[in-house]
Amino acid sequence: MAKFNFQVSKTSGKAPGTVVYLGEKEVRPPKITVLNYNPDKCEFEQITSVEELARFRDDPAVTWINIDGISHVETIEKIGEIFGLHPLLLEDIVDTNQRPKYEEFDNGIFLVLKMLTFNEKTQLVEAEHLSLVLGKNFVISFQEHEGDVFENIRYRIKETKWRIRKLGADYLAYALTDAVVDNYFAILERLGENIETVEEQIVKAADDNIQRRIYLLKRELIMLRKSVWPLREVINSMQKNESKMITKTTNLFLRDLYDHTIQTIDTIETMRDILTGMLDIYMSVVSNRMNSIMKVLTIIATIFIPLTFIAGVYGMNFDDMPELHQKWGYPAVLALMAAVTIGMLLFFRRKKWI
Amino acid sequence: MAKFNFQVSKTSGKAPGTVVYLGEKEVRPPKITVLNYNPDKCEFEQITSVEELARFRDDPAVTWINIDGISHVETIEKIGEIFGLHPLLLEDIVDTNQRPKYEEFDNGIFLVLKMLTFNEKTQLVEAEHLSLVLGKNFVISFQEHEGDVFENIRYRIKETKWRIRKLGADYLAYALTDAVVDNYFAILERLGENIETVEEQIVKAADDNIQRRIYLLKRELIMLRKSVWPLREVINSMQKNESKMITKTTNLFLRDLYDHTIQTIDTIETMRDILTGMLDIYMSVVSNRMNSIMKVLTIIATIFIPLTFIAGVYGMNFDDMPELHQKWGYPAVLALMAAVTIGMLLFFRRKKWI
Amino acid sequence: MAKFNFQVSKTSGKAPGTVVYLGEKEVRPPKITVLNYNPDKCEFEQITSVEELARFRDDPAVTWINIDGISHVETIEKIGEIFGLHPLLLEDIVDTNQRPKYEEFDNGIFLVLKMLTFNEKTQLVEAEHLSLVLGKNFVISFQEHEGDVFENIRYRIKETKWRIRKLGADYLAYALTDAVVDNYFAILERLGENIETVEEQIVKAADDNIQRRIYLLKRELIMLRKSVWPLREVINSMQKNESKMITKTTNLFLRDLYDHTIQTIDTIETMRDILTGMLDIYMSVVSNRMNSIMKVLTIIATIFIPLTFIAGVYGMNFDDMPELHQKWGYPAVLALMAAVTIGMLLFFRRKKWI
Amino acid sequence: MAKFNFQVSKTSGKAPGTVVYLGEKEVRPPKITVLNYNPDKCEFEQITSVEELARFRDDPAVTWINIDGISHVETIEKIGEIFGLHPLLLEDIVDTNQRPKYEEFDNGIFLVLKMLTFNEKTQLVEAEHLSLVLGKNFVISFQEHEGDVFENIRYRIKETKWRIRKLGADYLAYALTDAVVDNYFAILERLGENIETVEEQIVKAADDNIQRRIYLLKRELIMLRKSVWPLREVINSMQKNESKMITKTTNLFLRDLYDHTIQTIDTIETMRDILTGMLDIYMSVVSNRMNSIMKVLTIIATIFIPLTFIAGVYGMNFDDMPELHQKWGYPAVLALMAAVTIGMLLFFRRKKWI
Amino acid sequence: MAKFNFQVSKTSGKAPGTVVYLGEKEVRPPKITVLNYNPDKCEFEQITSVEELARFRDDPAVTWINIDGISHVETIEKIGEIFGLHPLLLEDIVDTNQRPKYEEFDNGIFLVLKMLTFNEKTQLVEAEHLSLVLGKNFVISFQEHEGDVFENIRYRIKETKWRIRKLGADYLAYALTDAVVDNYFAILERLGENIETVEEQIVKAADDNIQRRIYLLKRELIMLRKSVWPLREVINSMQKNESKMITKTTNLFLRDLYDHTIQTIDTIETMRDILTGMLDIYMSVVSNRMNSIMKVLTIIATIFIPLTFIAGVYGMNFDDMPELHQKWGYPAVLALMAAVTIGMLLFFRRKKWI
């Protein structure tokens, strides 16, 4: 995710449905892996030529085709051809700025999701564009890079004992979406830890840095919300889909997933509220510190300025200053200075400044 | 409740429907108590082996099975088996991060609630995860720890004179929910007292601490709201349930309960508004204090700085300063100083600083 | 109304439908008055024994039973018995924390309202809990104390010329509600006057007190809103009631009343907006004052500090300071000081500080 | 419009439907003018006796009766009698605090609008209460004072070439409403100019006055919004009216009018947003100015305070201060002072204060 | 776009449906160009006499008539006559203050859009009023000036290979709207870059200018939002139109366009949130800087003021000051001064000011 993700869609000025990749510069053919399974078998293959995918289109076993890399437009278009995907749909697959969406088409369901990872080095949340195409007996997943949150799903498919092996492509699509949402909780936990750290630091040492960190956390949450909010709609539509792609069993799980999405949104909003509260307390800590600096200055200045004046008076060189020539003159002035000091201190005490 | 309750669901990466307990570390078998009653009898039992529960499933008398402790996953799963509960439902029972929800299943209703207690020592609101399963003639309640807000209900069941003894399991479920919501009022009263205390302190002594207390109270309210808001939906759905589990009599009481929930939400919002107002007044008190400190500094400095200057002039060692050698020199300078002082004081008075 | 009205419902831990009075401590039997009228007659009675009320239940003439005092629970329960009121309903009658609500029951309509009065001494709005029960031909009103806003209604009933004498119990219920809402305007007018006073004072003398007064006014409005908002729902439900208790004629008046409620809410929101604006201007006035104080300090200090330094230099006791022994030394230094002063003043003028 | 428009309805305590005028004190009979026209004729009359109006009730030509002055309650009531207006409706006509509303009655439509004018002298928006009654073939308009925004309509009616002459009373009602809304744009333009003026001044000279002007503009917008918001509802209801008073032709124009109302609301909200932004920038300009004042003070003080100290040291009268008696003493001290000054200036430059 | 776009509709006081141009002063006849195409041919013409347009009205090939310039009212009215456009519609075409809207009329669809361009010189977003009329086989586009975002569409029409050449007028209308929305992304990207620049500058050098730039960016976004928000409604209505003007194919593309509009709104809201966060951080940076200035002042002043006082004491001219005549007097005072300085520095270190 670039700093702000406000890039212009480079498709502007192009005909609608033109497939243009907006992400990283380097273009290479994607890595394509296929998992073909039913309750009895489970085959894993790495595909080198796109054309090979055709045979999975009507294979009765469930097929999960995973595409790592969406920069090679020709490959994407060829896949689109094989599986009969509309150009507008292909446009969304490669448009990394596309927000999460749900769409039904003639023989399937199309989902856009955002796979988030927390970059420990930059302390920023990074989004990866993920598209899922659910057909009768296959799921195609398009990712920007290798590396994802699906390892556990692959593991479960390969073992025979898990539910996923026995259920259809719709359950696989659910499982992938569920893994994405589950991962949001991990992100939120990391942000939550950062929020706690900041909270502890505010009271100890409210330096300029803290405000900056609050601001960055807030911005992360704004970005996160942009990814998660539309998801609610997506999963809601998926549940109520009319294309009969989703079986009743899977639907039950979708209800649960919807619940998790709401919980994520809830947590994001709560975190925002708490960060706003922190900003208030930070501002107040700073202004209180200022206050205490001012107090010290005022106390020192208001005590010594009058004393210095008194000393100044008796430093004058007039010929005729009778006090200067009295024995008691010097002690009397010292006494006067002491009296002024004590008076000031009492005044400050009454004002509760010391 | 941990400090922020932003823990990641440890189920992430697990298959959906995997029952994983997220709460306290130590795992022990739960304490199970059973209350079996109808208008004529009332039996109390403590159960040691989960299998014994099976006989209550079809017992025509109302049965309240209370489980204290949800960390022992095997027990929870066995109970689920006996009463035919879906794995996703069991997942919610042990997932202490699950927000309040209402769900109907084939032969019953499932509720998730948050039981709140005000910890007098930490002055924080603590949440305990509570799940209710309402079957045809039984209610199963799952709590995190022993100790709850249901003592009065147990007492009413044991006595013959109360309404609860004569009504069915649905009324029992209502009564438990009602006890939870009733307790929210107690929590709000405690917070209300704290708010009043803070309000009184603001005017007396606006120190840094008060801002912190306002912040903490606000955070408590944010957390509270997270528990109470979804409850509105829960009770509303319960009222409009289609499974015919809820009798008309109980429904009347649910309407009342719904009302109480709205009242709780109302009070939380009002408290938030008032706390925001307090923050404003606190900030203003602080800035006014700063103001008055500055005023004192300015008055002292602006009076004495010119006087010190005059004294400085006549402390200079020029050979030829005629004033120094006049008889009237010293008194004249003193008079000048007095005049400057009076002029300054009049200026300050006109400015309304003194 | 207590300071914050956040008391816990003392019914918590009691069985639902338990009638527990939450208001003032002292318990005395209520004062019961009855107005029984039809177009031809109008009888006023003060009742001492609750049992006497039974005869009005089926009296074809319209009966208005007014109960002043809801602390004597036995009396309330007896009245409930006579007129067939549900225990939950009685609970609401004595629960002074109950928010405004509308409920239909088998043979009538039940309303909870808040009667507000402006306490001139404390300058606070005080709420009195008011419940209305509308039956086929009677209205029962439950008030916390004697003294209400219904004097004009009593007067109109006693005279023959007014519309109220000719219409049924539903119109009476409307007239009572209308009197309550009408009185809100009086409250708002008083608050409006206070807001105007504060506005005038802000510019004249922005002292610490004003912020406090704005805060208190805001809190009053928050409390008021809590009373008025649910009223919209109440009157709306009343208009759309299905129990056919409300005649078409009265319905026309209810539409008007609904309008007044909206107007009240509107005014409250407008007042809140204006108060928020005032707070901003107050904060700015304070910070501007601070600014002008700082300016005076800076001008005085920056002029005299360099001058004092110059005087200090020629107050040094070095043996060999040639300037000291020149005839022109003293005038030259005075001229230098004048030059510095003029330079400073020009600098300030350029900065637009003076 | 009084300063805040929060007067209590003086009807409180009166029977509902009592016609009480709330506006200006002086009561005089209204000025009544009648325009009676159809495509062929157009007659203008000034009516002195209310009874004369009766003949227009069933006149097939369109009649526009304009009443300037609503303080003379008897006249209003007599008009109500002649045209069969409900007392509640008459109450709204004279209640200057009534917000805009739409009501259908048996044989007509009733509208309350606010006619706004911008008082150039006080720079305040003033509202005039305007009620329209649309009957089968007449429109009655009730205004508070003479002088309105309808001159162009009168002109168009008198000429034959305009559409209005050929259409019915419903189009006249639309045209009057349209003229009122059109005038809102003029008001908004005036406010927009004021906002621009304030914006320009903020950067030039951010004095206390600007905050006040922003506050007043904001208050004007709050008041305006109170007049315009309900209008949306009014015109929407008018469009969807069921009384068949509004012809299809007029309905087309109402759709356009609705659009204009939305545009007015949009502009008000935008202006509010911009004013809020201005307040922020103003506060920042003020605090930046404070900053620069503090900087000057600090620079002057931190340079001269150490210098003055050095001078003070060599002004001490100790017998045994060897430096004082050296030839190089005085130049050395002057050099030291120069060094301190240069050091300070370098420090400030590094801090980027100068 | 004028600075605030709050001009009054100069139609006020005019009859509704009067076509009055509100934009630039100079009136010249518009430049009219026609593109007439079907899959087989594509003819481009520049029209000089409006009457020539009549022949395209019923031409079976798709015709795109583009009008550059809407100030020449007579021409607009003549076009309206030829294509049967309602006067209210013409009013909207020339009313440059009209917000985006969708309207269906008897034989077509009418759209108002805002074409935005980013003026690199003023760094302001400028809006151009654009109206589209979609008839059975033609689209008329009315622009304020020459120059638009449609060059790519013209290119695609002229080539045979593109989809647009084969589809009807409804697809052309979609393509034009799509080009307008696509361009919004370019605008947002420019604003996004500016936001990033400002963000970088805040930390480096938080001068007064930055606040101003944030304010201007915010205002731009407010204006942008005013253009984009109603668009959602427009495209939604277009999708659900009942006039059967929009074919199923085009509808698919409209769904995509709707999506883009939502994305634009999303981005605007996100940018606003981020700008608000920036303002907070800017205010805090400024106040921290103030803080550090105060600290320097306080440290210098509190160290030297007491020292100067001590020097002053021993500059007094009393006859009888024994210390002055001691050998150790001067070193002792110097030592005292050093002690005071060290004490102060330790105090500051403990306070963590240095």
| Band of pLDDT at residue C28, cut at 50, 70 and 90 | confident
Q: What's the rounded Cα separation, in Å, for the pair A4 and D145?
A: 57
DSSP string, D98-110: PPPEEEEETTEEE
| Band of pLDDT at residue B133, cut at 50, 70 and 90 | very high
DSSP string, B2-43: -SS--PPPTTTTSPTT-----S-S---PPEEEEEEE-SS-EE
Facing residue for B16 by CB, picked from A256, A263, A301: A256
**pLDDT value for E104:** 86
**pLDDT value for C68:** 93
Q: What's the rounded Cα separation, in Å, for the pair B310 and E135?
A: 91
Asked if D318's CB is within 8 angstroms of E324's CB, the reply is yes
What average pLDDT does the segment B146-165 reach?
88
- What does the DSSP 8-state code read for residue E17? T
Q: Tell me which chain D residues have a C-beta less than 8 angstroms from the C-beta of C196.
A: 3-4
**pLDDT value for E163:** 86
Min Cα distance A143 → chain B (Å) is 19
User: Is the pLDDT reported for residue A165 higher than 60?
Assistant: yes
The CA-atom distances, in angstroms, between A6 and each of A55, A241, C105, E184, E207 are 40, 32, 58, 11, 26
Min Cα distance A254 → chain B (Å) is 10
What average pLDDT does the segment A242-264 reach?
86
> What number does CATH give the domain E287-350?
1.20.58.340
Q: What's the rounded Cα separation, in Å, for the pair E173 and E159?
A: 18
Min Cα distance A13 → chain B (Å) is 42
Q: Name the token pair of E73.
A: 């009212």
Asked if B289's CB is within 8 angstroms of A294's CB, the reply is no
User: Is the pLDDT reported for residue B105 higher than 90?
Assistant: no
**pLDDT value for A223:** 81
Q: Kindly list the domain boundaries of chain D, sorted by start residue.
A: 31-284, 287-350
User: Is the pLDDT reported for residue A353 higher than 80?
Assistant: no
Average pLDDT, chain D: 85
**pLDDT value for A238:** 87
**pLDDT value for B1:** 32
Q: What's the rounded Cα separation, in Å, for the pair E156 and E171?
A: 13
- What does the DSSP 8-state code read for residue D27? -
**pLDDT value for A173:** 93
- What does the DSSP 8-state code read for residue C162? S
**pLDDT value for B186:** 86
Q: Where are the alpha helices (DSSP H) in chain B?
A: 73-83, 87-94, 151-158, 169-204, 208-239, 248-313, 329-350
Min Cα distance D77 → chain E (Å) is 32
Chains that touch C (3 or more CB pairs under 8 A): B, D
**pLDDT value for A24:** 57
| Band of pLDDT at residue B24, cut at 50, 70 and 90 | low
**Residue A189 near residue A271, CB atoms below 8 Å:** no
Per residue in E197-208, pLDDT tens? Answer: 888 887 676 566
User: Is the pLDDT reported for residue E6 higher than 60?
Assistant: no
Chains that touch E (3 or more CB pairs under 8 A): A, D
Chains that touch D (3 or more CB pairs under 8 A): C, E
Q: What's the rounded Cα separation, in Å, for the pair C253 and A137?
A: 64
Per residue in C97-149, pLDDT tens? Answer: 888 999 888 888 999 999 998 888 888 888 899 999 999 899 999 999 888 88
**What is the reported pTM?**
0.78
Q: Tell me which chain A residues have a C-beta less than 8 angstroms from the C-beta of B14.
A: 152
CA–CA–CA angle D181, D184, D185 (5° rounding)? 105
What average pLDDT does the segment E102-129 reach?
88
User: Percent of chain E scored above 70 by pLDDT?
Assistant: 92
**pLDDT value for C180:** 93
Facing residue for B287 by CB, picked from C103, C286, C312: C286
Q: Which of B172, B191, B235, B305 to mutate to test the interface with C (most CBs of C within 10 A)?
A: B305
Facing residue for A185 by CB, picked from B8, B91, B290: B8
> What number does CATH give the domain E31-284?
3.30.460.20
User: Is the pLDDT reported for residue D53 higher than 50?
Assistant: yes
DSSP string, B255-285: HHHHHHHHHHHHHHHHHHHHHHHHHHHHHHH
| Band of pLDDT at residue C9, cut at 50, 70 and 90 | very low
Q: Half-sphere exposure (CA, 13 Å, Cβ side) for E90?
A: 22
What average pLDDT does the segment A111-136 reach?
89
Average pLDDT, chain B: 85
Range from A195-204, D21-30, E345-354 carrying the lowest mean pLDDT: D21-30
Higher pLDDT, B40 or B211: B40
Q: What's the rounded Cα separation, in Å, for the pair E254 and E158?
A: 23
Per residue in C168-208, pLDDT tens? Answer: 999 999 999 999 998 998 889 889 888 888 888 876 765 66
**pLDDT value for E320:** 84
User: Is the pLDDT reported for residue E11 higher than 60?
Assistant: no
Q: Name the token pair of C5.
A: 């009205």
**pLDDT value for B346:** 92
Q: What's the rounded Cα separation, in Å, for the pair B338 and D239?
A: 81
Higher pLDDT, B21 or A227: A227
User: Is the pLDDT reported for residue A99 higher than 50?
Assistant: yes
User: Is the pLDDT reported for residue C66 higher than 80?
Assistant: yes
Range from A252-266, D147-161, E242-256 carrying the lowest mean pLDDT: E242-256
**pLDDT value for E287:** 79
**pLDDT value for D208:** 64
**pLDDT value for D292:** 79
Per residue in D268-321, pLDDT tens? Answer: 988 988 888 888 888 877 777 777 787 888 888 888 999 999 999 999 988 888
Q: Name the token pair of B166.
A: 């004569």
User: Percent of chain C scored above 70 by pLDDT?
Assistant: 92
**pLDDT value for E206:** 56
**Residue A297 near residue E297, CB atoms below 8 Å:** yes
ipTM for the predicted complex comes to 0.72
- Of C231, C60, C1, C245, the C-alpha closest to C135 is C245
**pLDDT value for E311:** 92
From the number of C-beta atoms within 10 Å of its C-beta (0-12, 13-18, 19+), residue D140 rates as buried
Asked if E315's CB is within 8 angstroms of A219's CB, the reply is no
Q: Tell me which chain E residues have a C-beta less than 8 angstroms from the C-beta of D252.
A: 86, 88
User: Is the pLDDT reported for residue D100 higher than 70?
Assistant: yes
**pLDDT value for E24:** 57
Min Cα distance A102 → chain E (Å) is 11
**pLDDT value for C34:** 94
Average pLDDT, chain A: 85
User: Is the pLDDT reported for residue C84 higher than 50?
Assistant: yes
**pLDDT value for E23:** 60
What average pLDDT does the segment A212-235 reach?
87
**pLDDT value for E197:** 86
Min Cα distance A242 → chain B (Å) is 22
Higher pLDDT, A104 or D242: A104
**pLDDT value for A251:** 87
**CATH classification of B285-350 is 2.40.440.10, yes or no?**
no
- What does the DSSP 8-state code read for residue E15? P
The CA-atom distances, in angstroms, between A224 and each of A118, A196, A269 are 11, 18, 11
Q: Which of E293, E317, E333, E344 to mutate to test the interface with A (most CBs of A within 10 A)?
A: E317
Average pLDDT, chain E: 85
Q: Tell me which chain D residues have a C-beta less than 8 angstroms from the C-beta of C288.
A: 208, 211, 286
**pLDDT value for C299:** 85
- Of E304, E86, E278, the C-alpha closest to E194 is E278
List CB contacts of A84: < 8 A, sequence separation 6 or more: A106, A107
Higher pLDDT, C186 or E172: E172
Nearest chain A residue to E152 by CA: give it. Answer: A13
Q: Which of C163, C198, C283, C317 to mutate to test the interface with D (most CBs of D within 10 A)?
A: C317
**pLDDT value for B13:** 55
Rg value, chain A, Cα = 34
